[in-house]
Amino acid sequence: AAMEKVLAGGMSIMNAKGAAGILMEADTGEIVAIASLPDFDPNNRPAPPVQGNPDDSPLFNRAVQGVYELGSTFKTFTIAQALERGQVKPDTMINTQSPMTWGKYRIRDFHNYGRELSVEKVLVKSSNVGTARIAVEIGAERQQAFLRTLGLLDPVPLEITEA
């Protein structure tokens, strides 16, 4: 009930159509709480939608059925790997000049952070350019191996029928 209240408050503030939350025990991976809004009364289950976006239905469990872009949360993995490999230190200065071109993509920061930031500030300010430059130095194959080691490339085994 507490998680649903927090999610409902966030939905109201952001005028969102839905929200989801999962609370895990960090040491064991055990799911302590899970919620998806909007929800429904199981005694008065709504019919599945016959038209429109099925993701808008209260039957859609956003917590386990939704596919989401990791966005800035993924920056922590990139920086953690670079620190672990000894490629950078928290005070290593990273070029954050924007835009950065990588293949056909132009990577920019929301704010102009100037010519460079320390690795610590790259994370604190969530610099897309700084993180991308660190990722290029790590290399795609090493990143993939690191993420595999963390179990991030494998489906999460959940005992939830719709997962």
Catalytic residue status for 72: yes
Q: 148 to each of 130, 137, 138, 158, how far by Cα in Å?
A: 23, 18, 15, 18
Give me the residue label for tokens 């090493």. 142
Taking a C-beta distance cutoff of 8 angstroms, is the pair 50, 93 a contact? no
- Judged by DSSP in three states, 135 sits in helix
| Contacts (Cβ under 8 Å, ≥6 apart) of 99 | 106, 107, 108, 129
What is the separation of C-alpha 154 from the centre of its chain, rounded to a whole number of angstroms? 15
Give me the residue label for tokens 């835009």. 99
- Please give the Cα distance from 148 to 144 (Å, whole number): 6
Catalytic residue among 12, 72, 98, 127: 72
Give catalytic residues, as residue numbers: 72
